[in-house]
Amino acid sequence: MHHHTLAILKPDCLKNGHQGLVIDLIIKAGYKIIDMRMIRMTKAQAEGFYEVHRGKPFYEGLTLFMSSGPCIPLVLEKENAVKDFRKLIGATDPGEAEAGTIRRDFATSKQMNAVHGSDSDENAAIEIGFFFTQSEMIANL
Ligand code: CMP
């Protein structure tokens, strides 16, 4: 059975020119890209996306950073998409991310950690709906 996850190539990834390399790694890891776009989120949109983290000490910095430049959200499809993608990107803190993971190679800090991946199937569905409409995705299948 195929599952979906929501990835975001974060503003640091684009500023450092790593978006092509990271997309290549994602495809080579067996993911099909169902949809993708490049957008610059407003501060309010970034706050909405990270609503679950509101009140945490890193929330203000994170939402400022996520609205500081364009990012690339992608809808990815593969068996065990959510779990395998978390493995592919590695730990939140690049210092703790395993060798060979995307964050180990491309992240510079816990905040500027190059890529986001949904943490559950339920959140993947919510996060996909934040950036994409069903009708656009169906047209790409
Ligand atoms: P992400 O996978 O996008 O989900 C939440 C984000 O919050 C996380 O990646 C990090 O970028 C950020 N984050 C989590 N913990 C911290 C922290 N302690 N300091 C700074 N940023 C954090």
**Phi and psi torsions of 74, nearest 5°:** -135, 145
pLDDT tens, per residue, the chain with 141 residues: 579 999 999 999 999 999 999 999 999 999 999 999 999 999 999 999 999 999 999 999 999 999 999 999 999 999 999 999 999 999 999 999 999 999 999 999 999 999 999 999 999 999 999 999 988 887 787
Determine the distance separating the centroid of ligand 1 and the alpha carbon of 55, expressed in angstroms: 13
Minimal-distance CA residue to ligand 1 atom 11:
111
Cβ(113) – ligand 1 distance below 6 Å:
yes
Cβ(86) – ligand 1 distance below 6 Å:
no
- pLDDT tens digit sequence for 53-74: 999 999 999 999 999 999 999 9
Determine the distance separating the centroid of ligand 1 and the alpha carbon of 141, expressed in angstroms: 32
Determine the distance separating the centroid of ligand 1 and the alpha carbon of 63, expressed in angstroms: 10
Q: Is 2 a catalytic residue?
A: no
Cβ(110) – ligand 1 distance below 6 Å:
yes
For residues 74 and 128, the answer to whether their CB atoms sit within 8 Å is no
Dihedral in degrees, nearest 10, Cα atoms 96, 98, 101, 106: 40
For residues 13 and 19, the answer to whether their CB atoms sit within 8 Å is yes
